[in-house]
Amino acid sequence: MIMHSEVFSVSLPRIGDIAPSFKAETTQGTIHFPDDYKGKWILFFSHPADFTPVCTSEFITFASLEDEFSKLNTQLVGLSVDGLYSHIAWLRTIKEKIEFRGLKDVEVRFPLIEDITMEIARKYGMIQPNESSTKAVRAVFFIDPHSTIRAMIYYPLSLGRNFEELKRVLIGLQTADQFGVALPADWQPGEDVIVPPANSCGQAEKRMNGQDEGVYCKDWFFCMKPLPLEELEQR
């Protein structure tokens, strides 16, 4: 039996790559991606199809969080392989008719890309033929203000995304950049962070002896600290 993956070639941008660029028509007009959003973080995500239930629940949730993402200097950009008129009709239906988890009358204000040729979806590895060769999977790309892909998460067609995790990944990346730190397993904003390795034996010794202010160690290679609250509040 020939698997679809032998027929299609799937390219997948990787962490650290510059986000592949393209021009697209969206529900908010023409965009040049990622250049239009330089200086901002971007959550670029795909959904399988308009007028489907899981996607509808996700869009209502994305739209309800748009202001929160905006405060995190983050632009939402969606894509599916449906056409523009389908997108417009679906978003109107969402606003006029659908209530989900107490959210209703929800307006989607971020751009939703039409990609009927699947050119953009293929560029971003959103078409994963052994899942579906006609629909995009639920991909999420986290792209930083310099247009570098910093993280990506893929979900199958049947499972809606976890929005708390999307926010956690975004805030984690921003925190790691701002403070030059790393984040431990299951880290949540406000929790202590991991400091980079000591740059000398002297520094390692100081840390182990509790003489590096705020830093505490579980061993010489595993040291943590709280972040300064005032700086966190300024973000």
How would you list the strands of the sheet with 149-155, edge to edge?
29-33, 22-26, 112-114, 74-80, 41-46, 138-143, 149-155
In the set 55, 201, 217, 223, the catalytic residue is 55
- Residue 36 to residue 28: CA distance in whole angstroms: 13
Structure token pair of residue 140: 């999420």
Give the range of 34-42, 53-61, 79-87, 191-199 binding ligand BEZ by CB under 6 A. 53-61
Q: Round to whole Å and give the CA distance between 5 and 175.
A: 38
Name which of 53 and 190 has its Cβ closer to ligand BEZ.
53
The residue to which tokens 């570098």 are assigned: 148
Distance (Å, rounded) from C-alpha 141 to C-alpha 33? 13
156 binds ligand BEZ (CB under 6 A): no
Q: How many residues bind ligand BEZ (CB under 6 A)?
A: 9
52 forms part of the interface with ligand BEZ (CB under 6 A): yes
Query: Is 55 near ligand BEZ (CB under 6 A)?
Result: yes
Which of 49/65 has CB closer to ligand BEZ?
49
Taking CB under 6 A as the criterion, the residue among 8, 54, 83, 232 binding ligand BEZ is 54
Segments of 68-192 assigned E as strands? 74-80, 112-114, 138-143, 149-155
Question: Could you say whether residue 86 binds ligand BEZ (CB under 6 A)?
Answer: no
Instruction: Specify the stretch interacting with ligand BEZ by CB under 6 A; choose among 20-28, 44-52, 87-95, 105-113.
Output: 44-52
The footprint of ligand BEZ (CB under 6 A) covers 48-49, 52-55, 135, 157-158
